Structure 1
Amino acid sequence: MTRQKRSDMIASTRGKLIAAGRKAFGAKGYADTATEDLTADADLTRGALYHHFGGKKGLLEAVIAQIDAESALRLQAIVDQAATPWDGFVEESVAWIELALEPEIQRIVLLDGPAVLGDPTRWASQSACLASTKRSIETLIDQKVIKPVDAEATAYLVNGAALNASLWIASAEDPRAAAGKALASMRALLAGLRR
């Protein structure tokens, strides 16, 4: 078997398992998804799951990484379409919180993810998000759009507010009502940065 065919086969197997995991975790939740649900839906063996992901927990990590990557692309599109860098910064922050209203993100990323994988602030995707927020803040400071604050501290505060708002929305009895409150408050917090 050529190296290319082998890498294609590996990618295909991983893709099938991630798709099966995303479907099962989204529909049933992590705790109620059996290993057999994942492998049967992907028409693969339990050995393939363990070989590629080390088990169900590793698959959940991969599913969250895929969802986070897709979310990052969606948020970047919002930034790219914004009229100004400030508008992009605000709308990206607001959209990040609004993602918590999507059932798949609520269940997999915001409820099951922290329960199984621990503190989301330690996830690789959060580190990337924090770095992106810091760069945006530095740009806005350089352009004299916002006050000369410490960019790193402000990035931690903005990301922390957005993450905690998202976790609150996902677990709220009325996610839409919680989101309305969180979005209004986030806009007010961000407005306080303006010169």
Structure 2
Amino acid sequence: MVDRLATIIEEAPNTWDGFINENIAYINMALEPEIQRIMFLEGPAVLGDPSQWPSQNSCIRSTQRSVQKLIEEEVVYPIDPLAAAHLINGALRGASLWIASSDDPQAASQKAVDCFLALASGLLRKRDRPDEP
């Protein structure tokens, strides 16, 4: 998952698109049977709280770097990048667990993506919001 997400970031035309595309891809990965089983269904039962897995540290650091870069580029408000990374990753993990256990994972995934986009747009400085002058 980490390698796939890193490629998505690298291929994006800018930091914001990389950030958005990476997080949407993470949500959509919860639709993949192998990832569902290992990461969101059986993994937590065997390994405990996913937020304590070593792989989560990698996800947090990646998100923190992305947020820090967006702050430096003045795309998002100057927020604490570590706090933002924990909140974003927690939301994505929670959404992915919901998707994996949903009766309609496809519909749940689309709802999660739509909500993520709405939440992420709140990070944008006012001048960068698509609906603002």
Normalising by the residue count of structure 2, what TM-score does the alignment of the two structures yield?
0.92
1:194 equivalent in alignment to 2:124: yes
User: Which deviations, in whole Å up to 9, do the C-alpha atoms of 1:112-142 show, x marking residues without a partner?
Assistant: 0001110000000001110111011011101
**In 1: Cα distance, 2:81 partner to 2:39 partner:** 27
Q: How does 1:3-152 map to 2 (within 5 A)?
A: 71-152=1-82
Specify the alignment match of 1:16 in structure 2: none
Which sections of structure 2, spanning at least 5 residues, go unmatched? 126-133
Q: CA separation in 1, counterparts of 2:108 and 2:42?
A: 19
Which residue does the alignment assign to 1:160?
A: 90
AA aligned opposite 1:116:
V
The structural deviation recorded for 1:107 is: 1.1
- SS of equivalent to 2:36: helix
Could you say which structure has the greater relative contact order, defined with CA pairs below 8 angstroms and 6 or more residues apart? 2
Residue 87 of structure 1: CA displacement?
0.3
Identity %: 53
Count residues with an aligned counterpart.
Answer: 125
Q: If each structure's helix is expressed as a fraction of its own residues, which one has the higher value?
A: 1
Amino acid at match of 2:94: N
Runs of 4+ displaced beyond 2 Å: none
Rg bigger for which structure? 1
Deviation at 1:108, TM superposition (A): 1.7
Alpha-carbon separation, structure 1, partners of 2:50 and 2:86: 13
Deviation at 1:190, TM superposition (A): 0.7
State how far apart, in whole Å, the 2-side matches of 1:189 and 1:127 are. Answer: 22
Q: 1:101 aligns to what SS in structure 2? A: coil
Q: Tell me which residue corresponds to 1:22.
A: none
Matched, 1:174 2:104: yes
CA distance in 1, matches of 2:45, 2:34: 15
Instruction: State the alpha-carbon separation in 1 of the partners of residues 118 and 88 from structure 2.
Output: 12
C-alpha distance in 2 between matches for 1:76 and 1:107:
22
Specify the alignment match of 2:129 in structure 1. Answer: none
